[in-house]
Amino acid sequence: MKKIKVLQHSKLAIIIAFFGFLSQISAQSYSADNTTLQSTYENSIKTIESQSYEFRAYLSFDGFKRTKNASKVSIKNKSITGTLIALEGDNSNVLKFNDQSIKGYKVNIDEAGKVIDLNFRSTINGVGYKFDIKILLNGNAVMTVFNANNSMEYRGNVVRI
């Protein structure tokens, strides 16, 4: 009877040790993930502070339809250059920026939420556009472009140029 209890206690001790080992591995992985995310966030801040970066879209959304997208715009020296395609295959709604000036450029860094928020305005052919770019902790970015009639959302990332 004592041998059975000892064996049961030994098995229990092995199981507890195994789960302790797994939780330690999980905690180390979580710590490494947080370090990577923090590093990505800090690099995003440096990129924005350089005031020389490019938003590269991989997806667009008009409120009804979502499509792949390859739009990109460069922000450099308080001007914007590049092309924004509303929806893939819809060439009627293409915005081309050719060194248009940027007005009202503002950056808000939310340390608590780990979100970088950029806002600015620009004009093409007399039509005003407002840009709102949110860069998340993981480096993904969402850019929403507004004009008087509608808005368009782009998902992508911001890279230094």
What is the predicted pLDDT for the residue at 27? Answer: 46
pLDDT in tens, 63-77: 777 777 888 999 998
CA 101 to chain centre: 24
Q: Cα dist. 73→27, 47, 52, 82, 143 in Å?
A: 39, 15, 11, 4, 11
Domains of the chain: 46-160 (2.40.128.410)
Q: Cα dist. 82→39, 70, 72, 95, 141 in Å?
A: 28, 11, 6, 8, 17
pLDDT in tens, 79-102: 999 988 876 555 557 888 899 999
How many angstroms separate the CA atoms of 62 and 82, rounded? 19
Q: What's the DSSP call for residue 44?
A: H
Give CA angle at 55 (53, 60), nearest 5°: 175
pTM of the model: 0.74
